[in-house]
Amino acid sequence: MYQSTSTEDLTDSSYSEFKKLFKFYKRRDHSLDLSAFFDPHKYSEVFNLKLNYVSDKCLIAVEKIFKTINGLRPINQWTLTTFLHRPGLFIIGGVLTIPEQLKWIERCLLEYSEPPNITNLFVQSNNPYKGPNVFKNNSKKLRWVTLGNDYNWDTKEYDNLARQPLPVEMVKLSQLAVYSIGLNNFFPDAAIINFYPQKSYLSPHVDRSERDLTHPLVSISLGQPTIYLTGGTSLNDPVDALLLRSGDILIMSGEQRLVYHAVPRILEGNEAFNEEYIQMVKEKEILDYANNCRINISVRQVDN
């Protein structure tokens, strides 16, 4: 799925297939052909994509939650992308209106990143920042925040009990996504929000720290588009490069729940939130962030 190159480090046998592709897309010394990516917004027999809509059997469960959430597009405008060679991987598009996407970005920056929620700035060894107005004072340094059952980045474990419940709107949106693909009994209790300024990335990894791995993982993309790599349970398994846009909701379930995945780069400058939306945010910096950076909300259920 990636263009050939003569660069020595990409042909080095010491690198796994996943890491070769990750390093290739992370580099910025070559142009990218976006048509080479799996685009979940386009049906493609070549890429084994199937574009669906929410099935009638899922509508009853979805509509119950739908009525309690603002800023959603009509259900018949949502798209549900599945992958014939990756059963269990779903991407839902068209759920959030643009104003609602901006509202979620604003929540992440001005609300969810505030104490008592824990950010990378709170635990950094040198000069930890534990005060309020995190985004205003540290916008360029903010990288992640944990909510609910806090994830410990050092031990790779969750706390025994949630520090506080997840925001109601986050629970409802993630449940809405899960129920729309036909799954049920999803009660999320933890979330990790990753902030991607320009030139940032997320290395190949597997989310396996949850104590019950039978539950799906829900990822909500906001802001600028990104290259998303998804592989298998081994770093040498085949890897697909997907193009995720703002508002896309990706769900990893079943056999796709424990695959390697990564974000080698964001594609800043490819999604425009125009000045007409300036009245919809509290601060102009929110719109600037949306036009230059990416945010991902990863929601999960730690326990049974």
The binding site for Fe cation consists of 205, 207, 261
Residue 68 CB coordination number (10 Å): 10
Judge whether 107 and 100 are in contact, CB under 8 Å.
no
The token duo for 37 is: 């990516």
Spatial distance between the Cα atoms of 133 and 138, rounded to a whole number of angstroms: 8
**H or E segment and range at residue 264:** strand 261-266
Q: Quickly list H helices, 181-238.
A: none
The token duo for 203 is: 């290395």
Q: Look-up: residue for tokens 């020595």?
A: 8
Spatial distance between the Cα atoms of 153 and 134, rounded to a whole number of angstroms: 20
Where is the binding site, in residues?
205, 207, 261
Best CA proximity match to 208, nearest among 257, 269, 173, 268: 257
The string of DSSP letters for 6-18 reads: --HHHH-TTS-HH
Judge whether 255 and 224 are in contact, CB under 8 Å.
no
Judge whether 205 and 260 are in contact, CB under 8 Å.
yes
Judge whether 189 and 301 are in contact, CB under 8 Å.
yes
